[in-house]
Amino acid sequence: MASSEPSPRIVTPEQRRATGASFGVDAARYDRTRPRYPQAMIDRIVAASPGPAFLNVGCGTGIEARQFRAAGCAVLGVEPDVRMADFARRDGVDVEVARFEEWDTAGRRFDAVVSGTAWHWLDPAAGAAKAAESLRPGGRLALFWHVFHLPPAVVAAFAEVYNRLLPDSPFRVPAGAVQAMEHYEPIFTNSGNGIRDTGEFGAVQRWHYDWEHRYTRAEWLDQMPTQGTLTQAPVEIVAEVLAGVGAAIDEMGGSFTMPYTTVVVTAAREPAAL
């Protein structure tokens, strides 16, 4: 194994959009396997918003939309992938199919704009500008992600197979002991800068929620094909990646505990000038 990590690759806007649009390839698996968000986070966002009208950007299959709806919110989703939108509608989530940067607000204003594990597929400046347009004064923008801390043996197995079989992928899987939070930091920073650059929001804050989940081998391998590193990979390569990761989990006893940190990047829309 190399003693230093390879330099990161630049993901072009076109590659970002293509990957963001690839998750609907198996919407049912995505909805079944992707983790939900901490209830404490849901409750805090609701409490920090001036009302119950929520816009869910990149709502996907409706995971967080259902959680906010259960907390008493009226949720409208915006989702570019018709397959994901159709799945969300099965459970009664109202969804409009569009890329958020191009979505027509039609004069509507919301108390909160929320986005779970999706904002990094948008242009952060255009997304923040559209969010400002969508919010009423005092409304809250809340963007959140799960940072998961895989066991080193699982990371090494994934990296070895992935980087060998997909050397030209724009996504690089680190083989070394790199902290997960370091990989997400550019996303948090770019998202915060996009919010600040609009000049329409107050101070940008970060909220953190630590929790954990126990995965069996089967549960983790079921989730892996929904990840952006694999959604566009050939099926034979996905199978080999899963075999390598599965062998590593077997050596750990067939299961592992995953520590998660859910990070929220959030700010309130400035009140209208008097």
Domain boundaries, the chain: 13-149+173-214+260-269
Q: Distance between CA atoms of 254 and 177, rounded to whole angstroms?
A: 22
Residue 274 CA to residue 255 CA, distance in Å, equals 58
Between 265 and 227, the higher pLDDT residue: 265
In the predicted model, is pLDDT for residue 25 greater than 80?
no
Confidence check: pLDDT of 208 > 80: yes
Does pLDDT of 259 surpass 50? yes
The mean per-residue pLDDT over the stretch 1-22 comes to 47
Q: What is the pLDDT of residues 142-199, one digit of tens each?
A: 999 999 998 888 888 888 887 887 777 666 665 554 567 888 999 999 999 999 999 9
Max alpha carbon distance in the chain (Å)?
Answer: 65
Among the ranges given (3-7, 16-20, 53-57, 75-79), the one the predictor scored with the smallest mean pLDDT:
3-7
> In this structure, are residues 217 and 253 in contact, taking their beta carbons and an 8 Å threshold?
no
Task: Indicate the CATH number of 13-149+173-214+260-269 among 3.30.2310.20, 3.40.50.150, 2.30.30.830, 3.40.640.10.
Answer: 3.40.50.150
The residues, any chain, with a CB within 8 Å of residue 225's CB and separated by 6 or more, are 26, 29, 231, 238, 242
